[in-house]
């Protein structure tokens, strides 16, 4: 079940999607965090950030919209408040980082990349819900490169670039990340989307638009993982609507080395553990020795 | 805080549009404190990714019950649940009502509609029983008066249409009553629609008595992770987000920064 993302070793391929699992302690009463391949925490920027106004989420058919807007305690706040919590656990810690400027990305990388407890940085260049940075860096390949270059220059810690789904050709971004020295890719962020109350004629989210997640986006995510995997040799963490072991295996066959369980954590906090157990059972039943042997085995 | 597969013991129309759902929950039931809630996965609603939060009405060693109205897709499907079915619950969640302050001798309950379900355990536990003000649109929306009276509460009812009790909002009965009390002794516990909570909160700040408000916001994770259900809580520097699911749902009225 072991997989590697750069020098980050995960004892199984399953992590949780940033933003669906808080900073770690929130779900510790419900599941043993050490059973996860890694914990990926909510996005952290250099300075504390207040995020969007409410309403911030809205349930849709087989999915949900969110426009939380990356509220957070800032890099130092995260270190003070949450790094001590993880001292009691051995699970690798992936910290999602974001910035409003290229300099911001560099600064947060310097602070968090030097933390011994941080196993990898997941670089969010694709948040659909913050005006500055965010999606802009994720959809313009030149700006995208400047961010990845900056982050790479500031740390030896593995960096995983989280790609935006709403681009004409995800292969260009995947390739660019690899060329800039990324250790892995996370595919995909939530898909820009909208819902409107027809009676009030107002958008359901205060931010008006948000990101769609959940089973509704799974086929989109599988396709993007499949495309990205053909373009690069670095490992991919696949995500988007994973609820079951079969969902996760589909991503792995499409080309993902790791997978992240996201919205399913809200539905059932034990979703990620069920996915881990189910993958293990499936591999045994199908006489597959290592999950790595299954990666990208989709047939033409 | 636990996750438990609970079995439905009873599910029936309680009154009018309101239903009572009682489940066997030997793990969660005994842990429930007044004002806490449970997060429920509605059976047979596979297309919904989110759970639904419900205040706990009653709880004991064996299980717990909720009182609910049909307000959307989740509660609509919940209507069809039958005795013996299994429901996945998370709970008890949130920070509920505190015990009566040391210097307080006059607890007061204020509820809008079935908001008083969230006050029942508090009403039962409080060492002193004072006034209970229940408001609703019509007589159909006034629940459990007898049960609160049986606990020793002096219940006053208001309805918007005057079909039961005094005609008007709950504050129409509360205000003249408060005017005759020693407000330093008053500690108020409230649950109901937001405009009612704000009206109660405004009075607490203006007149200087203590009030605890159970805030209701759309919720996703229920455990403090997703930051959906946040409200503005006053700080020295201005305000910060507080999570209704974790830091609340019960807040001291003086903490809350209301938005228009």
Average pLDDT over residues A155-176: 97
If one counts the domains in chain B, the total is 2
Classify residue A292 as exposed, middle or buried by CB count within 10 Å of its CB (0-12, 13-18, 19+): middle
Pairwise CB contact (< 8 Å): A56 & B223: no
Q: Has residue A130 got a pLDDT over 80?
A: no
Boundary (domain end) residue, out of B72, B93, B114: B93
Same domain? B112 vs B233? yes
Residue B185, domain CATH: 3.40.50.80
Min Cα separation B107/chain A (Å): 33
The model's pLDDT over A287-300, given as tens digits with 9 standing for 90+, comes to 999 999 999 999 97
Same domain? B113 vs B83? no
Cα–Cα distance measured from residue A77 to residue A97, given in angstroms and rounded to the nearest whole number:
13
Q: What is the pLDDT of residue A300?
A: 79
Q: Has residue A258 got a pLDDT over 70?
A: yes
Pairwise CB contact (< 8 Å): B225 & A22: yes
Average pLDDT over residues A232-250: 98
Cα–Cα distance measured from residue B10 to residue B19, given in angstroms and rounded to the nearest whole number:
10
Cα–Cα distance measured from residue B66 to residue B51, given in angstroms and rounded to the nearest whole number:
15
Q: What is the pLDDT of residue B259?
A: 82
Touching check for A241 and chain B: CB below 8 Å?
no
Cα–Cα distance measured from residue B109 to residue B7, given in angstroms and rounded to the nearest whole number:
31
φ, ψ of residue A179 to 5 degrees: the values are -65, -30
Q: What is the pLDDT of residue B1?
A: 73
Q: Which domain holds residue B35?
A: 2-93
Q: Has residue A132 got a pLDDT over 90?
A: no
Domains of chain A: 3-294 (3.20.20.70)
- Between the CA of residue A51 and those of A246, B179, B240, what are the distances in Å? 35, 42, 11
Same domain? B117 vs B239? yes
Pairwise CB contact (< 8 Å): A56 & B47: no
Q: What is the pLDDT of residue B119?
A: 98
Residue B260 lies in a domain: no
- Between the CA of residue A101 and those of A51, A75, A146, A259, what are the distances in Å? 16, 15, 10, 29
Q: Has residue B6 got a pLDDT over 80?
A: yes
Q: Has residue A125 got a pLDDT over 70?
A: yes
Secondary structure letter of residue A18 according to DSSP = T
Residue B162 lies in a domain: yes
Structure tokens at B158: 């208001």
Interface of B with A in 50-109 (CB under 8 A): 50-51, 88, 90
Q: Which residue has the tokens 């979703």?
A: A271
Active-site residue set of A: 127
Structure tokens at B21: 């759902």
Average pLDDT score, chain A: 96
Cα–Cα distance measured from residue A103 to residue A137, given in angstroms and rounded to the nearest whole number:
13
Average pLDDT score, chain B: 96
Structure tokens at B107: 């607890």
Q: What is the pLDDT of residue B260?
A: 59
Contacts of B47 in chain A (CB under 8 A): 61-62
Same domain? B153 vs B60? no
Q: What is the pLDDT of residue A157?
A: 98
The model's pLDDT over A85-118, given as tens digits with 9 standing for 90+, comes to 999 999 999 999 999 999 999 999 999 999 999 9
Contacts of B1 in chain A (CB under 8 A): 29-30
Same domain? B129 vs B214? yes
Same domain? B225 vs B195? yes
Rounded-to-5 percentages of helix, strand, coil across chain B? 25, 35, 40
Q: Has residue A131 got a pLDDT over 90?
A: no
Average pLDDT over residues B192-199: 96
The pLDDT confidence band at residue B73, using thresholds 50, 70 and 90, is: very high
Residue B87 lies in a domain: yes
What was the ipTM of the complex prediction?
A: 0.94
The pLDDT confidence band at residue A133, using thresholds 50, 70 and 90, is: low
| Alpha-carbon Rg for chain A in angstroms | 18
Q: Which chain B residue shows the shortest CA-CA distance from A23?
A: B225
Q: Has residue A134 got a pLDDT over 70?
A: no
Same domain? B128 vs B213? yes
Boundary (domain end) residue, out of B36, B70, B93: B93
Structure tokens at B44: 């047979």
């Amino acid at each position: 079940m072991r997989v590697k993302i750069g020098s980050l070793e995960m004892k199984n391929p399953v992590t949780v999607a940033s933003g669906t699992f808080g900073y770690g302690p929130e779900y510790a009463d419900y599941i043993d965090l050490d059973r996860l391949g890694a914990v990926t925490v909510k996005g952290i920027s250099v300075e504390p950030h207040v995020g969007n106004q409410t309403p911030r989420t809205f349930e849709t058919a087989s999915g949900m919209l969110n426009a939380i807007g990356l509220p957070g305690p800032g890099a130092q706040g995260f270190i003070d408040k949450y790094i001590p919590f993880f001292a009691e656990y051995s699970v690798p810690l992936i910290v999602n980082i974001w910035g409003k400027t290229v300099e911001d990305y560099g600064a947060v990388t310097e602070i968090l990349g030097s933390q011994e407890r941080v196993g990898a940085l997941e670089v969010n260049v694709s948040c659909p819900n913050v005006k500055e940075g965010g999606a802009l860096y994720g959809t313009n390949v030149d700006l995208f490169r400047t961010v990845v270059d900056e982050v790479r220059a500031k740390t030896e810690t593995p960096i995983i670039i989280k790609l935006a789904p709403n681009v004409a050709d995800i292969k260009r971004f995947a390739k660019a990340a690899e060329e800039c020295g990324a250790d892995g890719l996370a595919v995909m962020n939530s898909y820009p989307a909208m819902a409107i109350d027809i009676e009030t004629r107002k958008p359901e989210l205060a931010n008006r638009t948000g990101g769609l997640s959940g089973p509704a986006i799974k086929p989109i995510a599988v396709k993007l993982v499949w495309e990205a995997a053909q373009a690069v040799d670095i490992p991919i963490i696949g995500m988007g609507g994973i609820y079951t072991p079969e969902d996760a295996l589909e991503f792995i066959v499409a080309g993902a080395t790791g997978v992240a369980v996201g919205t399913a954590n809200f539905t059932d906090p034990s979703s990620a553990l069920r996915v881990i157990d189910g993958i293990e059972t499936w591999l045994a039943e199908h006489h597959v020795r290592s999950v790595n042997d299954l990666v990208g085995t989709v047939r033409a | 805080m636990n996750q438990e597969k609970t079995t439905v013991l009873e599910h029936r129309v309680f009154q009018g549009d309101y239903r009572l759902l009682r489940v066997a929950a030997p793990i969660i039931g005994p842990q429930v404190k007044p004002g806490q809630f449970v997060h429920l996965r509605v059976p047979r609603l596979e297309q919904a990714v989110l759970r639904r939060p419900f205040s706990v009405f009653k709880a004991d060693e064996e299980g717990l019950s909720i009182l609910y109205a049909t307000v959307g897709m989740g509660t609509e499907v919940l209507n069809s649940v039958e005795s013996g079915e299994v429901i996945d619950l998370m709970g008890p969640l949130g920070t509920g009502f505190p015990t009566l302050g040391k210097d307080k001798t006059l607890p007061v309950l204020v509820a809008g509609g079935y908001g008083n379900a969230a006050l029942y355990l508090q009403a039962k536990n409080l060492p002193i029983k004072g006034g209970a003000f229940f408001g609703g649109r019509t007589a159909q929306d006034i629940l459990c008066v007898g049960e609160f009276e049986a606990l020793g509460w002096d219940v006053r009812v208001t309805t918007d249409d005057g079909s039961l009790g005094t005609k008007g909002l709950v504050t129409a009965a509360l205000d003249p009553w408060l005017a005759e009390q020693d407000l330093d002794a008053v500690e108020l516990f409230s649950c109901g629609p937001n405009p009612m909570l704000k009206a109660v909160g405004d009075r607490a700040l203006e007149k200087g008595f203590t009030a605890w408000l159970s805030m209701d916001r759309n919720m996703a994770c229920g455990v403090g992770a997703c930051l959906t259900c946040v409200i503005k809580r006053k700080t020295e520097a201005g305000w910060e987000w507080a999570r209704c699911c974790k830091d609340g749902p019960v807040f001291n009225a003086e903490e809350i920064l209301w938005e228009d």
